[in-house]
Structure 1
Amino acid sequence: MLASAVVAGLSAPALAAEETPLKSLPYTPSLDVSAMDRTVDPCEDLYQYACGGWMKNNPIPADEARWGVYSKAANENQRYLWGLLSELSAAPQPAQLGRYFGACMDEAALESAGLQGLKAPLEAIAALNDRRQLPALLAQLHRSGAMGRAFFSFASGQDFNDATQVIAFVGAGGLGLPERDAYFRSDKGSVDVRKAYVAHIQRSLVMMGLSAAEAARAAQQVLKAETALARVTFKPEERRDPYKTANRMTLAQLQALTPGFDWAAYRSALGAPAELPVVNVTEPRFLKAWGQMAQTLPLAELQTLLRWQLISSTAPYLNKAWQEEHHAFYGKTLQGVPQLKPRWKTCVQLADAQLGEALGQEFVARNFSPELKAAVIKMTDQIKGVMARRVDQLDWMGPETKAKAKEKLASMVNKVGYPDRWRDYSAYEVRGGDFLGNVQRGAAFEVARDLAKIGKPLDRGEWGMTPQTVNAYYNAQMNDINFPAAVLQPPLYDAKMDDAPNYGNTGGTIGHELIHGFDDEGRQFDAQGRLKDWWTRKDAKAFEQRASCVAQQYAQYTVVDKLKINSKLTLGEDLADLGGLVLALEAWKQQVAAMKLAPQDGLTPDQRFFVGFAQWDCSHARDEYARMHARTDPHSPGRYRINGVAVNMPEYAQAFACKPGQKMVKKPADVCKVW
């Protein structure tokens, strides 16, 4: 659900305030009247009306690219986890989590280590004198944290044909810029970014010991090679088409795609199962081109590329000089972030990434009650019930497709709070005073854990987010909706608040994730999570016509400068935003049908529902980030995730007595409506 909004005329970057660990999560209400700007007419701009005060009072911190209700809640979570991890690391004999955090916070040890932790992979790259060594070398790099950055990724995934089975997936990688067109756009901003990227590569290689002249030549070689790979890489919107990424192959077919690369040797060195009946290659054209490059590129240039991929994927875990060099391009240039994150925040985020469910047990035990879980499950069941009734009432969908839609809905699993079975990290060795080694061993542990799933039946209890993550998601192949404990805390779900803002906020989030099962991408998967067309041709066409209304609307919105939303990329999220709030509104009406509701804070109950909805994404972003976000992220900016939804809901205009001709009122014939 995370997104950003662009606000014209942002003030200078705020200096990062001195932050301290928290012993408990702070409370902010899910409808905050101080976050509003009541000088704005809600019939002209709901977002500014609901969020104007929040944006004024919450400038973007100097170490952030964007700042919103979600990111602020996540930051408060991190401060709470900082306190928890600090206590664990201060124990006389700290256990795994405490040792990890303590080693990460030991900056003196980090400074003295230098590049010592990369000695083995750098020596292996230097020793590459025969292309037959490449499979084992790539496996070594992939195990230690460069998976995906070093040319490609190799992981487990659900079989598109049979979602109960887990098979191997090979994905495209190797690019240092955010997406493929960043290598080809000719506008001044894009040209400047490429120049800055080359300068960053050059500086990094000098730090590794190359002369300035050698580094300059090598940086150009890197850009040339990455540009060639970008040419055969999918655009972000292409990756949203599951039929393009579903390319089942036998091992013989995979080997034929890259004849000079020994996949058996790679799998053996990586630790993948020896027997792989099938492999899914997400981008065969890329893999074929990469295979040719691996055989024709001079070995010295191949070594240069591998060194760059290793150091660019490892720099954030090295000493301060490397962190700052990495931030100079990926933070400042690409996202406009003036300041490096404080060390505590980096260490909390890494603990979450590498020991997330161990940390999650601590978080849940202190912050997620059985009563809260029951309340959210009730809301989820209500919203699923609304969806079932709405499917029955659709005038554009025939009975055959309706039956399949209701079957999928009935099969959809609700996951609320945390997994039923916690992940076992006992095989992950964490050593005090060895931060980079811990990161590398953590990467190897995760690669091994992931590869072990190949060839086995699917574990439907697995989660893709940790409980302390302020976010939610739908998994099309699992056909489940997932709401971590941290997204069910104030100011998102607020047990102290009346139902209206809770249904507008959390209800909208639940509806959003549910609708993902029926958006332009999710609708292509059936009740069992198979990539299978269950729509009649007539009904599919009717859906596409309604979805195109949303796409056309969002394509008109300006992100920053003259850059418009890429509505082909954002369509699924835009459909989920709209459909999700429609479901939440009806569920709330049913919840309060027998109640007599009075206005509060100068807002009617209906107005509280919509303001509660709008305030989930009060946010703003730096221009640099907004540009990158528009080209890579499937979510529209926050302003349009709010106004773009409300303008399609006649109930909103009724709630605020808006009149025809005002910006938040569409002509009835122009209203976009799918579900």
Structure 2
Amino acid sequence: MAALALTIAAGCESKKEAVMASGIDLGNLDTTVVRGADFFQYACGGWMKKHPLTDEYSRFGSFDMLAENNREQLKGLIAEIAGQENEKGTVAQKIADIYNLAMDSAKLNTEGIEPIKADLERIASVKDKAEIVPLMAELSHIGIRPYFTFFVDADIMDSKSNLFQLYQGGISLGEKEYYLDTDEATTDIRNKYKEHIVKMFRLAGFDESAARKNMEAVLEIETRIAKASFSAVEQRNPAANYHKMTLDELKKSVPGIDWDAFLSGVGVKGVTELSVSQVEPIKEVEKIINTIPVEKQVAYMQWKLINRAASYLSDEFVAQNFDFYGKTLSGRKENQPRWKRAVGTVNGMLGEAVGQMYVEKYFPAAAKERMVQLVKNLQTALGERIQNLEWMGDSTKAKAIEKLNSFYVKVGYPDKWRDYTALDVEKDSYWANVKRATKFELDYELAKAGKPVDRDEWGMTPQTVNAYYNPTTNEICFPAGILQYPFFDMNADDAFNYGAIGVVIGHEMTHGFDDQGRQFDKDGNLKDWWTPEDAERFNKRAQVMVNFFDSIQVLPGLYANGSLTLGENIADHGGLQVSFQAFKNATKDAPLGVVDGFTPEQRFFLSYAGVWAGNVRDEQIRLQTKSDPHSLGRWRVNGALPQIGAWYEAFNITENDPMYLAPEKRVSIW
């Protein structure tokens, strides 16, 4: 599922100091900068100066500001419920009890390690390798997926049916490079990770010697899995990450794992076929399970438990967990206040229930109506651009238009809300309720296996500040949370709204035609609908984008990853091109005038850049560059705009400007 940005769960500043018809806040600009030298700084420098990074953030931008506002709104809704007596079994009771348990630091600190003690002992009881696979399945019910993970989603070759699928996993640092790269920065992170594991085992009651021995076991197992795992770039190839087979074929291919015990323990029923997304790491896990001493694997699984539960335990666990994942990995200096973490947990467990309250209070019907019209205008503009492509043949164009016209559009919130009746929430412990909620979510997911795909299901909650495209359902989704300033302003003119939310809409539409999305047909199946000549021309043009971003130095000695970010960069490029055309279409009969010295075309691009305003720490730059398919905000402006002819015309950018690219060197796809 291709999303607009890093997912930021609920909370932009929907209130501005003054309502401006142009939507552009002149105070956000830095007019001391030459716009053809650093347009990001020119358009966003004032905003960045007004919003320096606080200790709580490793990155703070327009998305985060909107998320903060939404979070405050959610806090008001949740805290009001949490302060009341609520009838047992109601959604209100569940929201209240989870929130109150998360806020009760005295109870959490008194409990210490107690909430996970039985789980640690259960893992420690394993004495024979034959017990490992059943335990893996058992642990999945409480959100612990050692060795590899699994999910149920649409079969990419039969998109109307859900398929049980295995996927690589098991490495706590997320990306394989953290275990294998030898540069100074990565080596330092790895060494601090080792010390973090030791400290967490000590907090869990292990002595120094046992904690260090366990750490060595964890690193041995995770490093072996990392070596066999696909990189983030390799995972972007849909065909290379799909290996459908019968259960009998899996048993023959990977005989060293008791698949009957695993599937039965997980609780998925009637699996006769499945997809093994990445075969190599699963085979490596088979070797690990059968060759590494059981006591080392016990240590590894205990670590996965401690790591998973840390955020829901005492302040000591939370602080040490933040010290590594917050400070070392992303450069944050201070953890979020407890109430934000509590709201986040409620949001995670009962997202649509909270979302239903959110849209009733904060999402106006008029906003949804205007968005639906904007989407139609963007679809028309993308269709026009496809028809006018010089490099694409007629047969491929016809298929592309067919796919475009088949988009399933979701705006604001779902028509049907989740039922949380089966989720049991008690007042025993925070971690106990996390386990119940995890089991509830797992049961919900596994029940879909072998069943038809429900196209009406949403992949994000309404309060989420983001948007997405899903290739298997060919859907574009714009939750209510993002339909606020600086993305969308009911009081602003078309130059502003097409530059901001219009580009977001165009971005998600273009995902249907980026290097991954273009491989899926109008029905969401992985199917080649391109002529070989058109596919070759597309790939050649996409490579220009890869090469351009590969050449960007984001930190001394660290370069952007053009292959990893290709899909998002293509979507930004297409979003800009399509939305600008839609903007010109919408205003051709009643052209907008100059406001505050800026033409409508200039305000379009200033609005776009303002979406990506933000400050970021070096640690976060390194983390995102290794793992995030989205380019950094600065380069979603300074990397995207030099490819757009209309931007040059709007601001009179010439070959004398540092950002200038000769026309033959610019990306030209959609």
> Which residue matches 2:555?
560
Q: Is 1:192–2:188 an aligned residue pair?
A: yes
Q: How does 1:389-538 map to 2 (within 5 A)?
A: 389-432=384-427, 434-538=429-533
Match of 1:551 among 546, 551, 560: 546
Q: How far, CA to CA, are the matches of 2:355 and 2:460 in structure 1?
A: 10
C-alpha displacement of 1:511:
0.3
Secondary structure of the residue aligned to 1:332 is helix
> Which residue matches 2:215?
219
Match of 1:55 among 45, 48, 65: 48
Q: Is 1:90–2:83 an aligned residue pair?
A: yes
C-alpha displacement of 1:491:
2.0
Secondary structure of the residue aligned to 1:377 is helix
Secondary structure of the residue aligned to 1:584 is helix
C-alpha displacement of 1:420:
1.1
CA contact (8 A) 2:486 2:500 kept: no
Q: Is 1:37–2:35 an aligned residue pair?
A: no
Match of 1:610 among 578, 597, 605: 605
> Which residue matches 2:262?
266
Q: How far, CA to CA, are the matches of 1:624 and 1:257 in structure 2?
A: 41
> Which residue matches 1:13?
none
Match of 2:136 among 115, 135, 138: 138
Q: Is 1:254–2:247 an aligned residue pair?
A: no
Q: How does 1:8-157 map to 2 (within 5 A)?
A: 26-27=15-16, 30-93=23-86, 94-147=92-145, 150-157=146-153
Code of the residue aligned with 1:49 in structure 2: it is Y
CA contact (8 A) 1:222 1:304 kept: yes
Report the aligned-residue RMSD.
1.6
Code of the residue aligned with 1:69 in structure 2: it is S
Q: How far, CA to CA, are the matches of 1:460 and 1:234 in structure 2?
A: 29
Match of 2:300 among 297, 305, 309: 305
Match of 1:158 among 154, 159, 162: 154
Code of the residue aligned with 1:585 in structure 2: it is F
Q: How far, CA to CA, are the matches of 1:453 and 1:559 in structure 2?
A: 42
Q: Is 1:362–2:360 an aligned residue pair?
A: no
Q: How far, CA to CA, are the matches of 1:119 and 1:182 in structure 2?
A: 30
Q: How far, CA to CA, are the matches of 1:661 and 1:108 in structure 2?
A: 63
Q: How far, CA to CA, are the matches of 2:653 and 2:220 in structure 1?
A: 56
Code of the residue aligned with 2:137 in structure 1: it is A
Q: How far, CA to CA, are the matches of 2:664 and 2:450 in structure 1?
A: 52
C-alpha displacement of 1:304:
0.5
Q: How far, CA to CA, are the matches of 1:287 and 1:208 in structure 2?
A: 30
Secondary structure of the residue aligned to 2:565 is helix
Code of the residue aligned with 1:452 in structure 2: it is A
Moved more, 571-580 or 596-605: 596-605
CA contact (8 A) 1:27 1:491 kept: no
C-alpha displacement of 1:480:
0.5
C-alpha displacement of 1:41:
1.8
Moved more, 555-564 or 499-508: 555-564
CA contact (8 A) 2:217 2:297 kept: no
> Which residue matches 1:569?
564
Q: How far, CA to CA, are the matches of 2:404 and 2:566 in structure 1?
A: 21
C-alpha displacement of 1:136:
2.6
> Which residue matches 1:16?
none
C-alpha displacement of 1:256:
2.6
CA contact (8 A) 1:36 1:50 kept: yes
> Which residue matches 1:631?
626
> Which residue matches 2:347?
352
CA contact (8 A) 1:178 1:628 kept: no
> Which residue matches 1:315?
310
C-alpha displacement of 1:96:
2.0
Q: How far, CA to CA, are the matches of 2:652 and 2:108 in structure 1?
A: 61
CA contact (8 A) 2:503 2:608 kept: yes
Q: How far, CA to CA, are the matches of 1:136 and 1:223 in structure 2?
A: 23
C-alpha displacement of 1:27:
4.1
Secondary structure of the residue aligned to 1:225 is helix
TM-score normalised to structure 1 length = 0.95
Secondary structure of the residue aligned to 2:151 is strand
Q: How far, CA to CA, are the matches of 1:256 and 1:134 in structure 2?
A: 19
Secondary structure of the residue aligned to 1:481 is strand
> Which residue matches 1:11?
none
CA contact (8 A) 2:181 2:187 kept: yes
C-alpha displacement of 1:433:
5.2
Q: How far, CA to CA, are the matches of 1:191 and 1:156 in structure 2?
A: 36
Q: Is 1:539–2:534 an aligned residue pair?
A: yes
C-alpha displacement of 1:89:
0.3
CA contact (8 A) 1:25 1:77 kept: no
C-alpha displacement of 1:123:
2.0
CA contact (8 A) 2:149 2:170 kept: no
Q: Deviations over 1:150-190 (max 9, x none)?
A: 11112201112100000101111111223101111111111
Secondary structure of the residue aligned to 1:409 is helix
C-alpha displacement of 1:25:
5.5
Match of 1:666 among 640, 646, 661: 661
C-alpha displacement of 1:451:
0.3
CA contact (8 A) 1:653 1:664 kept: no
Secondary structure of the residue aligned to 1:531 is coil
Which stretches in structure 2 are left out of the alignment for 5+ residues? 87-91
Q: Is 1:283–2:278 an aligned residue pair?
A: yes
Which stretches in structure 1 are left out of the alignment for 5+ residues? 5-20
Q: Is 1:233–2:229 an aligned residue pair?
A: yes
Match of 1:172 among 157, 168, 178: 168
CA contact (8 A) 1:508 1:613 kept: yes
C-alpha displacement of 1:3:
5.4
Secondary structure of the residue aligned to 1:165 is strand
C-alpha displacement of 1:308:
0.5
CA contact (8 A) 2:4 2:504 kept: no
Secondary structure of the residue aligned to 2:166 is strand
Q: How far, CA to CA, are the matches of 2:399 and 2:341 in structure 1?
A: 46
Code of the residue aligned with 2:218 in structure 1: it is V
> Which residue matches 1:206?
202
Moved more, 208-217 or 53-62: 208-217
Q: How far, CA to CA, are the matches of 1:639 and 1:95 in structure 2?
A: 44
C-alpha displacement of 1:449:
0.3
C-alpha displacement of 1:668:
2.0
Code of the residue aligned with 1:534 in structure 2: it is W
C-alpha displacement of 1:501:
1.1
Code of the residue aligned with 1:125 in structure 2: it is I
Moved more, 261-270 or 340-349: 261-270
